[in-house]
Copies of this chain bind each other. A is one copy, B any other.
């Protein structure tokens, strides 16, 4: 038998290169040639792993969502007061918090791209939507929400707020301070929670 390179890990390398390009130049810069160059391989080699650009991008999007879902899971198991945990979790899903990879920004780029690229956006596959749903049902379980809360509506409201904050964080680069974004999230969480019978958040 011959070379036997780990096919899957090589695909991951390429997807990470695509990811990097997306953050630097957006979807418009994500040409197969640019990605190949970033990955340090040739067009032919890239084609060996991904037949189609669409296939590569879909793979990369899955990778990004897997990354975000992992963050969410980790934080869910952390040993923290519920309110603080929830706040940290949501804040971690917004851009400009971790500068390393910035999965949140990549996710947003994919989401924005979805409009004129075929089918409708499936929020069921959106790691942020899943996280928001988890957060909300968690708050329900712990009986932390106000009485007479419309869970579905409040889920959509928080989800909308998350997307809006993500978008505006992404668009204003360095100027947009993460502290203010965090403050907004905190305010929102307080607003949908029961009256404080002690310190919160």
| B171–A121 CB distance below 8 A | yes
Whether a CB of chain B sits under 8 angstroms from the CB of A98 is no
Complex interface: chain B residues within 8 A of A28 (CB): 116
| B153–A163 CB distance below 8 A | no
Once A187-B150, A187-B157, A191-B191 are accepted as A-B contacts, the answer to whether A120 and B164 lie under 8 Å apart by CB is no
Interface string of A110-137 (1 = CB under 8 A from B): 0110111000110100000000000000
Cross-interface CB contact of A116 among B25, B111, B123, cutoff 8 Å:
B25
Interface size counted on chain A using CB atoms at 8 A: 38
Whether a CB of chain B sits under 8 angstroms from the CB of A87 is no
Interface string of A94-115 (1 = CB under 8 A from B): 0000000000000000011011
Cross-interface CB contact of A172 among B120, B161, B180, B187, cutoff 8 Å:
B120
| A168–B159 CB distance below 8 A | yes
